[in-house]
Amino acid sequence: MWSIDENPRSPKSFIFTAVLTLLFSVSMFGQITSSTANGRNSNYKPREVQQSEAIINQVTDKVGILFKEGMIALKDQKRSDAGEKFNKSVEVFLLSALNVQSNPKLAGCYNQLIETVYRMEFPETQAPNIRSLASTCEWNWNNNDFLLADEIAVIVQKMPVPTDVATNTTLITSADGSTSMPDEALIGFNEQRFEPSPLDELAKLQLTSDEINIDTPEAQQQYQYIQYAVANRSLGFSFQVSPLIQQFLNYYQGRGRKTMEVGLYRSGMFMQMARRIFREEGVPENVAWLGQVESAWKPTAMSWAAASGLWQFIPGTGARFGLRRTAHLDERNSFEQATRASAKYLKFLANRYNGNWELAMGAYNCGEGNVDKAIRRAGSSNFWAAYPYLPQETRNYVPNILATILIANNPQKYGFGHIRPAAPLRYDQIRVPSSTNLAILAQASDTSVEYLRYLNPELRTNMTPPEPYIVRVPAGKANEVVALFRKMPVTQPVNNTAVAKANKGETWDSLARKLSMDAKELRAMNPGMAVPQGKVLIPDRGNLITKTTYARPTTTPPPAAAKTQSSIQVVKVKSGDSLTRIAKSNSVTVSELAKFNGLAIDARLRPGQEIKIPAK
């Protein structure tokens, strides 16, 4: 584990090549006097100053247009479109290549824009002051624009505030006893990507006549094996044998074969961890196979009832067992935290039903209330007695899990001996500062932002939460990443830093020339390194914007065709091409090109790979 001093949150987005150029330093404005020696008009401004002011106005005006389009989309409940427009309004400053913080108008407009968008995306007690933003940026809005701004402020205030505290959640119960979560407003413009949960199909599953038939010699032999396995407690817990269990075994040996094969394969990634945690929590290890039925071992699975993650927690139950759900992360999609919460919940349910694991698993699926009601109607604390009074999904759910456990414990007997489970998912864990962008971690650990998101599925954006946070990085990379960050100067913000790899025999001067940077600055960022060796830290200055409260970056380049409206071009890599060669032939720096494509500067390119060229 490691930690470094927490830095102010700063926006990090792809750094675009300048489309506008500030012709003269902002300091010229301080040299203008109210009158001149030759008696010129007191309002006179040199032509160069007028041109500079015009460029600044073009920037702020474009920001205003995009911001207004974002408000319109937000009013229409098109949150993704709104987020894209607000992103673009921020990117206008980055596109400009102007020294934003050196000019009072630009700095004020930028900083207030960041704060306003943040408050709109992640609602807090303080409403966004959109009118003040428009005044600071000197947008030429009419009365309708201001009315829209007021309406948006009201809409934002009505959104729920993210909380880490468990709340009472009222479930919607349908006629058949099944439950779902009520609609809830979204928090954040950028959403996690999810896959359909297998539970949705399970709820609708109807066994065929062939699957129901257990009178065949093979089915009878397997049914006797179930009775034997239960009698000698070889599975670690006992349950009552029912023909329905054999019927689901028939299903998996027939039309459900592919589902079982995929589940057994994917189980290898997580089952070792799940067994350990279930054992630590005092839950029979084989009960962990519940994860296969819940999610097919997909951390990003989500059901129609808003249940999410490997263990398919709905928000309310997840909060009950310590899974945080904020604007920055959703721990229902985590690996270890969600697995432990699942084990704790199952232990709680088993205790509630006096060690009856069938009732405990049924309650895990449909809630204690539904199981309690079924028990009262049946007059017996027995799952199979309560079976007719349970929701259809739960009636399928429990025998399905028991069948899965039987197959997993003796795959050869059921025709799955050829399946080799995937290797356990390996990763290292390190502690990072508040709001660390995944881009710098990806460069430092020789991987991609996409893979880091795969290893950290609980993260809702490409940035860690605004707190010291433990993230997963590829196995074997922790020491390398920690060593790199430990040598970072204390004064250098982590999110204003990038990583490059020095070639053997390279000097600071040659590396500086390759990166279009100052050799003295590179040496200062890598103290104690006489010559560049391996990974080195390089400054990622952007537009000298280093302090802000905005925490909604993205490292995913916008979709682009061969040429977009902003003149972004795409070139295909040829054999022998490198980022340095492509950057030189397209008149951009290799640092800009690497950041724009989310790659390390020395990344190895493959022929046919598409590289986006920043707009000129």
Instruction: Give the integer Cα–Cα distance in Å for 325 and 71.
Output: 26
Among 365, 385, 366, 364, which residue's Cα sits nearest to residue 376?
385
Instruction: Give the integer Cα–Cα distance in Å for 172 and 211.
Output: 33
How does the average pLDDT of the chain come out, rounded? Answer: 78
pLDDT score at 345: 96
Residue 311 has pLDDT above 90, yes or no: yes
pLDDT score at 41: 53
* H helix runs in 176-256, sequence order: 198-204, 209-212, 217-231, 243-252
Residue 369 has pLDDT above 50, yes or no: yes
Tens digit of pLDDT for each residue in 156-207? 876 544 333 222 333 333 333 333 333 333 445 554 455 667 777 777 788 9
Residue 364 CB contacts under 8 Å (≥ 6 apart), including other chains: 290, 345, 346, 349
Residue 531 has pLDDT above 80, yes or no: yes
Q: Is 521 a catalytic residue?
A: no
pLDDT score at 196: 67
pTM for this prediction: 0.58
pLDDT score at 600: 64
Among 256, 276, 301, 231, which residue's Cα sits nearest to residue 399?
256
Percentage of residues of the chain with pLDDT beyond 70:
76
Instruction: Give the integer Cα–Cα distance in Å for 431 and 53.
Output: 45
Return the ∠ at Cα 220 (arms to 215 and 226), rounded to 5°.
Answer: 135
pLDDT score at 615: 65
Backbone torsions φ then ψ of 471, nearest 5 degrees: -115, 160
Instruction: Give the integer Cα–Cα distance in Å for 54 and 42.
Output: 19
Least confident of 119-123, 230-234, 406-410, 448-452: 119-123
Q: How confident is the model at residue 516 (pLDDT cuts 50, 70, 90)?
A: confident
Instruction: Give the integer Cα–Cα distance in Å for 520 and 86.
Output: 37
Instruction: Give the integer Cα–Cα distance in Å for 553 and 10.
Output: 9
Does 140 or 33 have the greater pLDDT score? 140
Q: How confident is the model at residue 547 (pLDDT cuts 50, 70, 90)?
A: very low
Does 192 or 286 have the greater pLDDT score? 286
Tens digit of pLDDT for each residue in 436-492? 888 889 888 888 888 899 999 999 888 888 888 999 999 999 998 888 878 776 655
Query: Residues 536-549: what's their mean pLDDT?
Result: 53
pLDDT score at 353: 96
pLDDT score at 491: 56
Query: Residues 322-329: what's their mean pLDDT?
Result: 88
Q: How confident is the model at residue 429 (pLDDT cuts 50, 70, 90)?
A: very high
- What residue type is 161 in one-letter code? V
Query: Residues 221-237: what's their mean pLDDT?
Result: 88
Return the ∠ at Cα 417 (arms to 415 and 422), rounded to 5°.
Answer: 130
Does 52 or 272 have the greater pLDDT score? 272
Query: Residues 506-511: what's their mean pLDDT?
Result: 87
Catalytic residue among 91, 121, 211, 294: 294
pLDDT score at 575: 82
Q: Give exposure, 537-562, as e/b (b: 16+ Cβ within 10 Å).
A: bbbbebbebbebebbbbbbeeeeeee
Displacement of CA 237 from its chain's centroid (Å): 37
User: What would the 3-class secondary structure string for 483-510 be?
Assistant: HHHHCCCCCCCHHHEEEEEECCCCCHHH
Tens digit of pLDDT for each residue in 41-84? 556 667 776 777 888 888 899 999 999 999 998 888 787 778 77
